[in-house]
A and B are shown apart, each in its own frame.
Chain A
Amino acid sequence: MSEKLKTKTFVFFLIAPAFLVLIGVVIYPFIFNIIISLSNMSLSHIKDWHFVGLRQYVKVFTEESKPSFYDVFLKTIIWTVVNLFFHVVIGVFLALLLNQKEIRGKAIFRTILVLPWAVPQLIVALTWRGMFNYEYGSINLMLTQWFGLPAVQWLKSPVETFIAVIITNVWLGFPFMMIIALGALQSIPHELYEAADMDGASWFHKLKNITIPLIRPVMVPAITLGTIWTFNNLNIVWLVSNAGEPSDQTHLLVSFVYKAAFNFYRYGYGAALSMVIFFILLAFSLTFMRRTKATEAAY
């Protein structure tokens, strides 16, 4: 066989298995969802649904609801950005700390710091909810007893509840970014740092010019996917706020979909909303990846 054909065959065998699985498992539900989103499938039309064109999409954007689609959308964006920011900053920060050669007991530190990711989410989320209780929760107890600050009504008003949910999710998410960053840091040759030291570079300079560019190829997929997952993270918001309390204000777009589809059986509407979420995320990913040139190599 010619060299080129050999290469192509090799490539094909590398990728084929993964893609076969993905196509089967994802494409079919995807198409199904598109079809449903163009239909009126709901409680009264569960078996005899028919196409209604873009009516569900119109409803998504114009339906009057408290909170409105735009409120929830904005909230979801804030949620995603704030979470990712802290996840990455804390994760990279801790990874850098742990990467220093003079530190002992690294294995222990790493293991303890990975616990938030390792523990089952349901009970941990409910534990955090308990910690935010006004009268009996640990957080207020610590605030009042150790810092002399007034207790916060964490779960009573929309803003505080939102902050509480964010705090919980940041706690849950930083280990993941930390592990990725730790892995990424390994790919940076020591010589680069040594050379920079000889040139008298400050730590900031080293961070900006060596570390960050070189961990980028590994961090970018994690950040992109992290953004997508956080955007669509139903569990934490649902559990800590007890399904949207207070007054249905603590919602993300995904929990909206969940409510519509599973609580009200509005499958057509839910499918349309899912498609909208999908397009939002697609637009984001395309822009983000173009700017970071993530589909190319680093060297």
Chain B
Amino acid sequence: MNAKSKKYFRIVITYLVLVLFCLIALYPVSQILTVSLRPADRLMSTSLEIIPKDASLRNYKALFTERPFGLWLANSTFVALVVTFTGVALASTAGYAFSRFNFIGKKIGLLSLLVTQMFPATMLLLPMYIMLVKLHLINSYLGIMIMYSATALPFCVWQMKGYYDTIPTSLEEAGRIDGCNRFQTFYQIILPLASPALVITALFSFMSAWTEYIVAAQILQDTQMWTLPLGLKSFESNMGSEWGLYGAASMIVTIPVVVLFLSLSKWLVSGLTLGSVKG
């Protein structure tokens, strides 16, 4: 095969594989859509149709009229956005320090970040609750925001550090020569180059806060303060969950994540590569 038809072949196969994986990704999600359109709370069905014969948008309407879904959305958005901003701010700076500087306790520091992830969360509930009671953070957003930041940060810091590691230090040196101080080289030169990692940090922080249930269930006692996961859980019973509402809510809950991803993903593949460094 000559070079051109090799390339053609590669492109066709790529599209085929991508479409196949998209179908695999989509199918279970379409099932959830079906559940949301199907009346009478059936989680499954004996038929394979995606849009059931008796489909109705009743569940979607009921979410906003019969339940305070709008309130949950607002609460979750607030919490998630704050956690995202905090995560980006803290992780980008801490990650930079770990990447560029050598200091006592650097290795320990990095390892201890990992260590925080190694515990099964279930065992941390009781001490966490006691601590939050003592700090009067029960039933407050500050409490869960701190917890969420703490859960998301380790990964984000590591991620940022890893990404900074791929940026050559010669860039900062060039910046210093040009007269920028440390902070300027950081935010004007290095940070933009690390935008893919910033995107990942933002997404990850957002998801941690958007989907977290266990901590929120323990801390938020006031139904007015409920976040989406708590709201969704209220549709669930041990036996006899309100699957229709749950499905509709799940579909809606996914939308902001997708929107966020779409808007951020152009920076994920920014193409701001290191073409600026020759040799």
Binds B, one of A50-58, A62-70, A115-123, A150-158: A115-123
A30 to B119 alpha-carbon distance, docked (Å) = 8
Q: Is the CB of B111 within 8 A of A217?
A: no
Q: Is the CB of B111 within 8 A of A286?
A: yes
B273 within 8 A of A: yes
A179 to B264 alpha-carbon distance, docked (Å) = 12
Could you name 18 residue pairs across A and B whose Cβ atoms are closer than 8 Å? A14-B93, A15-B93, A17-B90, A17-B94, A18-B90, A18-B91, A103-B15, A115-B258, A123-B243, A127-B28, A138-B27, A179-B200, A218-B162, A254-B120, A282-B115, A285-B114, A295-B106, A297-B99
Which A residues contact B (CB, under 8 angstroms)? 6-8, 10-11, 13-15, 17-19, 21-22, 24-26, 28-30, 32-33, 90, 94, 97-100, 102-103, 106-107, 109-124, 126-128, 130-131, 133, 136, 138, 141, 171, 175, 179-180, 182-184, 186-191, 214, 217-222, 224-225, 228-229, 232, 234, 254, 257-258, 261-262, 267, 270-271, 274, 277-278, 281-282, 285-286, 289, 294-299
> A103-B15, A109-B22, A297-B99 are contacts. A190–B119 as well, Cβ < 8 Å?
no
B181-204 to A contact mask, C-beta < 8 Å, 1/0: 011000000000000110110010
Residues of B near A127 (CB, < 8 A) are: 28, 31-32, 35, 43
Residues of B near A220 (CB, < 8 A) are: 162
Given contacts A127-B28, A180-B200, A186-B268, 10 further A-B contacts (CB under 8 A): A21-B90, A100-B14, A103-B14, A118-B258, A124-B250, A130-B43, A171-B24, A188-B273, A285-B111, A299-B168
A158 to B149 alpha-carbon distance, docked (Å) = 38
CB neighbors of A among B152-197 (8 A): 153-155, 157-159, 161-169, 182-183, 196-197
Q: Is the CB of B196 within 8 A of A187?
A: yes
A99 to B153 alpha-carbon distance, docked (Å) = 28
Minimum distance in angstroms from B63 CB to a CB of chain A: 14
Q: Is the CB of A179 within 8 A of B119?
A: no
Q: Is the CB of B122 within 8 A of A189?
A: no
A-B pairs, top 3 by smallest CB distance, nearest first, are A183-B196, A32-B127, A221-B158
> A10-B183, A218-B162 are contacts. A18–B94 as well, Cβ < 8 Å?
yes
Minimum distance in angstroms from A110 CB to a CB of chain B: 6
Minimum distance in angstroms from B226 CB to a CB of chain A: 15
Which B residues contact A (CB, under 8 angstroms)? 7, 10-11, 14-15, 17-18, 21-22, 24-29, 31-32, 35, 43-44, 46, 48, 90-91, 93-94, 96-99, 101, 103, 106-107, 109-124, 126-128, 130-131, 146-147, 149-150, 153-155, 157-159, 161-169, 182-183, 196-197, 199-200, 203, 207, 211, 229, 232, 236, 243, 246-247, 250, 253-254, 257-258, 261-262, 265-266, 268-275, 277
A24 to B137 alpha-carbon distance, docked (Å) = 13
Residues of A near B128 (CB, < 8 A) are: 25, 29
